[in-house]
Structure 1
Amino acid sequence: MEAQIISLNHHANVSLKATHYESPRPLKGTILYLHGGGLEFGQRDDLPRPYLQQFVDAGYQVITLDYLLAPESKLDVILAVLKESIATLQTKLTLTSNLYLMGRSAGAYLGYLLLRDGLPAHAFLDLYGYAGLNHPEFRRPAEFYTAFPAVPPMQAQALVQDQPLVTGALKDRYPLYVSSRQFGTWLSQILPSIRDADQYSLTTAELAQLPPTLSFHSRHDPDIPFAAAQLATQAIPAAQLIPVAGHEHDFDRTVTPTTQAYYQTMIDFLADPQAQALVS
């Protein structure tokens, strides 16, 4: 599987890049991928290689994208610079007319915002994401995270860097996210103002305009409520929600025959998104 690094744009002396995983097969489409990490950690090439191999073997090129991280950058800037990156990508690489968007967790959330704002994707693969910030779980201490050793806000603040970031290692940045969920301050970490939450949440009418969507979400997700997936997929005209048994948020973190079967389901879905989404 060949990979090429593509320079996209710069923001405040930070370089944003993409990784292009080419397919040796006749090309069926392009998948743009956005990683997870609560908008505060993660990196573009976090998708395990076996999943990438499944996509490229099926005839899809995969492009993984950098985006700015919070709280060094707020959501208005994160989204604007991400749009610039995609526009630059389109000038540097020939994208197929069959363009698909894929995101995991916070990456899926950014995907919802991009689709709302006009990204012309034929289908959307949403893995344990959310379409808005208006879930009460985002505004109060999260039971799952309060069971962890406390990370006081002052300790978390010491992890914030002086300049924008596009990559955040789990060991360095996860405590920042944990703290924000323990103390119910996550929205203030990512938004220009807490009053902007509605501006960065899709309405039912906006969800109704989205392309065919395939969503995977654990029924007992301790991080992002299963109801988030239910509300989104109920409002999207051609959408299918596949519930995953268990209590893991990122249930596909470890590659298993079961998770690879889920990825095969995604590949089958992309062959005819409209028809597949309506068979549920």
Structure 2
Amino acid sequence: MKETKQLLDDITVTIEHAQSNTPKYILYLHGGGLIYGSKTDLPHALKNRFLDQGYTILSLDYLLDPNTSVAEIIETLNKSFSVLGKMIIQEQPFGICGRSAGSYLMFHLTKHLGRNKEITPNFLINFYGYTDFEFLKKDPSPTERTLTAEVLTGIDQETPLADDPLMTRALLYHYGQQQGILADYYGLPKSQDWSDYAIREEELADFPPCFSTASTTDQEVPFASSKRLSKQIPDSRFKPVYDLEHDFLKQTSEPQVQTVLKELSDWLSAKESF
């Protein structure tokens, strides 16, 4: 059964119930460079594994850049989770699954929950995510197709919004990436001192166990970012894949991706405390 509930004015959560007598949850935060994407994009292959293991899935909206700054996105996410915790999760076990930019928000939410002594996740699942924006300081990689400002015609960059189900804002993200202006979209300081937007190593040391995966040929987020997390977060697991694109999760028929999903299921099953 699937249902949608309103949490804040612009934020909803879609709930897909597992057939389980013991309530437990996975919160899903989608990817899209913080600029596009939708909570509806969780691949069926992963969704079904969560449901089969008895996890009810909570797919959550969050506000998008550049209509809203990163700082405001994180603040609103913390508020929406507070409502979600009181409304649905309460004291039941839960984990968080983040995908790329969704992982970045997952790490900030986890930091916030621990710092404020609120209910905290039992585990984290990181698909090619990151904990800071240092990689944006590198020169953009050349691409086969150079986008011009004309592709942005009709894309609203002012009105706050929290869902992009048709992925129409993907062009805005790729334009910002090619032009090297994602930091401007995110509202990051011009000084390039972005330490306030990063998760520090000593903070990661207090995080729950994390399953991470990334591709060696990732062209958007440095492979080393996800690999390093497995050493910085205690009791974690890192499963690399080779020669796939950044968002390889959508390639669910690819043998390496099937192996990742199987190992993730085994990892979850092995954590009896979950």
So what's the TM-score if we normalise by structure 2? 0.89
- Among candidates 44, 48, 53, match of residue 43 of structure 2: 48
Give deviations 1:221-258, integer Å, cap 9, x for gaps. Answer: 11111011122222112221111112311111132263
| 3-state SS of 1:252 partner | helix
Quote the Cα distance in structure 2 between the aligned partners of 1:160 and 1:148. 26
Match of 1:147 in 2: 143
Q: What amino acid sits opposite 1:8 in the alignment?
A: L
Match of 2:28 in 1: 33
1:177 equivalent to 2:176? Answer no
Give the direction of change, closer, same or farther, for the CA distance of 1:54–1:151 in structure 2 (3 Å limit): same
Give deviations 1:70-94, integer Å, cap 9, x for gaps. Answer: 0000011101111111111123224
Across the two proteins, how many residue pairs are aligned to each other?
A: 267
1:8 equivalent to 2:7? Answer yes
- Measured after TM superposition, the shift of residue 169 of structure 1 is 4.8
Q: Is the 8 A contact 1:31 1:63 kept in 2?
A: yes
Equivalent positions of 1:34-183 (< 5 A) are 34-95=29-90, 97-118=92-113, 120-135=120-135, 138-143=136-141, 146-152=142-148, 156=152, 159-169=155-165, 172-183=168-179
- Measured after TM superposition, the shift of residue 192 of structure 1 is 4.7
- Among candidates 160, 172, 189, match of residue 193 of structure 1: 189
Q: What amino acid sits opposite 2:112 in the alignment?
A: D
Q: What amino acid sits opposite 2:4 in the alignment?
A: I
- Measured after TM superposition, the shift of residue 53 of structure 1 is 1.6
Q: What amino acid sits opposite 1:9 in the alignment?
A: L
Q: CA RMSD in A?
A: 2.3
- Measured after TM superposition, the shift of residue 131 of structure 1 is 1.2
Match of 1:242 in 2: 239
- Among candidates 205, 209, 224, match of residue 227 of structure 1: 224
Quote the Cα distance in structure 1 between the aligned partners of 2:187 and 2:204. 21
Give deviations 1:140-170, integer Å, cap 9, x for gaps. Answer: 3321xx3142224575486343311112256
| 3-state SS of 1:118 partner | helix
Q: Is the 8 A contact 2:66 2:185 kept in 1?
A: yes
Q: Is the 8 A contact 1:103 1:126 kept in 2?
A: yes
Match of 1:278 in 2: none
Quote the Cα distance in structure 2 between the aligned partners of 1:180 and 1:66. 22
Q: Is the 8 A contact 2:19 2:51 kept in 1?
A: yes
Q: What amino acid sits opposite 1:253 in the alignment?
A: K
Q: Is the 8 A contact 1:17 1:65 kept in 2?
A: yes
| Farther-moved stretch of structure 1 (68-77 vs 203-212) | 203-212
Q: Percent identity?
A: 27
Quote the Cα distance in structure 1 between the aligned partners of 2:69 and 2:271. 33
Match of 2:117 in 1: none
Match of 2:261 in 1: 263
Quote the Cα distance in structure 1 between the aligned partners of 2:153 and 2:235. 42
Quote the Cα distance in structure 2 between the aligned partners of 1:257 and 1:26. 33
Give the direction of change, closer, same or farther, for the CA distance of 1:116–1:154 in structure 2 (3 Å limit): farther
| 3-state SS of 2:75 partner | helix
- Among candidates 211, 214, 222, match of residue 211 of structure 2: 214
So what's the TM-score if we normalise by structure 1? 0.87
Quote the Cα distance in structure 2 between the aligned partners of 1:230 and 1:262. 15
Q: Is the 8 A contact 1:219 1:244 kept in 2?
A: yes
Q: Is the 8 A contact 1:218 1:226 kept in 2?
A: yes
| 3-state SS of 1:202 partner | coil
Q: Is the 8 A contact 2:11 2:61 kept in 1?
A: yes
